[in-house]
Structure 1
């Protein structure tokens, strides 16, 4: 099922996709070919009280895309892929996950159970969907990080504006007020940006505009059962590996309003000696981003060819 010219070895770094990778039909090949994958979907469905198998295979897309549904669906699909890898006796050298994918990575490392993970992200999505503060997100391509921050500083005179996702050396997603995002767009295109695209999202994720639910989410995080990971886990908010359980909880809390440092996470994996990464999920989004960060990386996905 690997979409690569060579089989990934036990020395690989495993990376896990986040929200935005969902699509109707995701997980279909897993469910058709792996009893262990089917058990993962059944367990996750029971844990969150909804039929995730039907949701992933049939949608409808607006229901699958809803934050409170997309997050447990994506984690479940990734953990189903993980079950297939474990059946083959494969293990990662290190793991990292993009945004909600960090919960999948923590399951892979043995820090979280599947049940705890999907219940946590289901609640996370429900809280996010309840935020009433208006805001949006803007993808920006073609500017380096210093220029993006410079223009952000200027545009933030119109309202809250932050870099929410460091996806590549010249690929970022901003979160903030609609006025500030529009001002940034006006500044960025004349400054040399190749493209500025407003994302179809309901809120300004990974920004201070999510602060309305921070206290409630912190209380949820405090109750999540955790264990120390079996493998190194590179965390989104620091791009450093887990040292204590406090590190994990703090990252879970901070990720709500803080940026995803994906560029730095991939570079941290490379700094640990990782030369190959496998995207664990029915997606090729984060492996594609990883290649842009470090073109020398060998990458593979578990997404079946069409």
Structure 2
């Protein structure tokens, strides 16, 4: 029997660092003046050509933390601009790590220009950390097993669970010795995969604390507004209740874990039945589907999705002018 089409509440979700790739947002920039205006505004705010960086790279420059973060946020905001020009709005929003800034823009908490300036500073501060560290992704072990192995590796140095991505995917962050110990333990315990990530620092761990006070001052200067829709925060997996909640989450993100798996469950608890990854990426939508299999997971990377959303909401795609 054919399953009924899912037309339930739709949340917009935004990816974080690691989703960047040379060519990102290319179709939008070529076809949409709205997307180009977003990139122009963001580029002016940070003093660099973000459209050219996204389209042409080089990859090493785009991947640098201080460049990747404003590029990813701008790509997300360009995607939400495409949705908004067609009259679409989210039932709720959430963003993974730096993607939380895209979510805050979507929720009306923060305009684009100060958001990209802040994440540019965030990336510069994070790149300046002197403490050596790495990150390690583990797939195929549940949370209880991951935490038990982390405790077993902890005597060897700093090690933290940085990303709770899905019930079977976690990222550990810390100094090299405990991560290597964890890797050996995880593989012996039956992990499907356990690999060091190509990153410059131990993000979302106590090793980032040396720049946290400078980042706190940046966050304190942001002119925030309360969100227009339910907004789920990374470090608590709870919806925003006060502006203090937002500031605390943005500051704590530097050293605390991203509770993405828990955020997705919170969205489901809010009655969300569909999530849309608002970027040229399918990273967080895939993680959401693995966390709550009943969710319909969509991504703007799929060019047919936007037209499908318009049909379901009673809108028609803009027609090309007749010459």
Q: C-alpha displacement at 1:32, in angstroms?
A: 1.4
- Decide whether the 8 Å contact of 2:273 with 2:296 is kept in 1: yes
Q: 98-107 or 183-192: which moved more? A: 183-192
- Determine the C-alpha separation between the residues in 1 that align with 2:8 and 2:81: 15
SS at 2:135 equivalent: strand
Q: C-alpha displacement at 1:245, in angstroms?
A: 0.3
Equivalent in 75, 95, 98 of residue 97 of structure 1: 95
- Decide whether the 8 Å contact of 1:29 with 1:304 is kept in 2: no
1:30-80 Cα distance to aligned partner (Å, 9 max, x none): 111211111000000000000001000000000000000000000001100
Q: Which residue of 1 aligns with 2:31?
A: 33
1:217-273 Cα distance to aligned partner (Å, 9 max, x none): 111110011000001100000000000000000000000000000110000000000
**What's the TM-score, normalizing by structure 2?**
0.91
Unaligned runs of 5+ in 2: 304-323
Q: Which residue of 2 aligns with 1:227?
A: 225
Equivalent in 43, 46, 56 of residue 44 of structure 2: 46
- Decide whether the 8 Å contact of 1:239 with 1:268 is kept in 2: yes
1:120-144 Cα distance to aligned partner (Å, 9 max, x none): 0000000000001000000001111
1:196 aligns to 2:194 (yes or no): yes
Matches within 5 A, 1:74-153: 74-153=72-151
Change (3 A) 1:300 1:247: same
1:269-300 Cα distance to aligned partner (Å, 9 max, x none): 00000000000001000000001001111111
Q: C-alpha displacement at 1:304, in angstroms?
A: 4.0
Q: 26-35 or 202-211: which moved more? A: 26-35
- Determine the C-alpha separation between the residues in 2 that align with 1:232 and 1:11: 12
Q: C-alpha displacement at 1:7, in angstroms?
A: 9.4
1:167 aligns to 2:155 (yes or no): no
- Determine the C-alpha separation between the residues in 2 that align with 1:249 and 1:181: 30
Unaligned runs of 5+ in 1: 1-5
Equivalent in 254, 262, 274 of residue 256 of structure 1: 254
- Decide whether the 8 Å contact of 1:275 with 1:297 is kept in 2: yes
Q: C-alpha displacement at 1:9, in angstroms?
A: 5.8
- Determine the C-alpha separation between the residues in 2 that align with 1:111 and 1:76: 16
1:184-211 Cα distance to aligned partner (Å, 9 max, x none): 0111111111110000000000000000
- Determine the C-alpha separation between the residues in 2 that align with 1:218 and 1:151: 32
- Determine the C-alpha separation between the residues in 2 that align with 1:113 and 1:232: 17
> In angstroms, what is the RMSD of aligned CA positions?
1.4
SS at 2:188 equivalent: coil
- Decide whether the 8 Å contact of 1:10 with 1:92 is kept in 2: no
- Decide whether the 8 Å contact of 2:8 with 2:274 is kept in 1: no
- Decide whether the 8 Å contact of 1:14 with 1:92 is kept in 2: yes
Greater Cα radius of gyration, structure 1 or 2: 2
Matches within 5 A, 1:6-21: 11-21=9-19
Matched residue count: 301
Equivalent in 235, 238, 241 of residue 237 of structure 1: 235
**What's the TM-score, normalizing by structure 1?**
0.96
Q: 27-36 or 226-235: which moved more? A: 27-36
Q: Which runs of 4+ in 1 moved over 2 A?
A: 6-11
